[in-house]
Amino acid sequence: MRVTRRGVNIVIYSDDEDGGKDNRCRFTFVKSGLYILNMANHTGKWEPTPFEGTLDELLEMVIEQFPWTLTDYNQDDI
């Protein structure tokens, strides 16, 4: 997994086999320490979620409730 910042977004992505990027999730800053969570669909396009909170809260939510978004499916041992 890799992380980058694009404007008001913090994006988690992985490198695909062709040298491109597979979007996983992003946190969009909205105001005073609050972010909203968007998840990438199967084509890598962003889908909104109803979740809003601090970066720590949203990252914990992704790890605990949506762990498959952080799974590296390109590993040889899977």
What pTM was computed for the model? Answer: 0.85
The reported pLDDT for the residue numbered 78 is: 46
Beta bridge partners of 28: 9, 36
Q: Binning pLDDT at 50, 70 and 90, where does residue 16 land? A: confident
Residue with tokens 């597979």: 22
With residue 56 as reference, give the H or E element that holds it.
helix 55-65
Q: Binning pLDDT at 50, 70 and 90, where does residue 75 land? A: low
- Structural tokens at position 60: 């914990």
Q: Binning pLDDT at 50, 70 and 90, where does residue 74 land? A: low
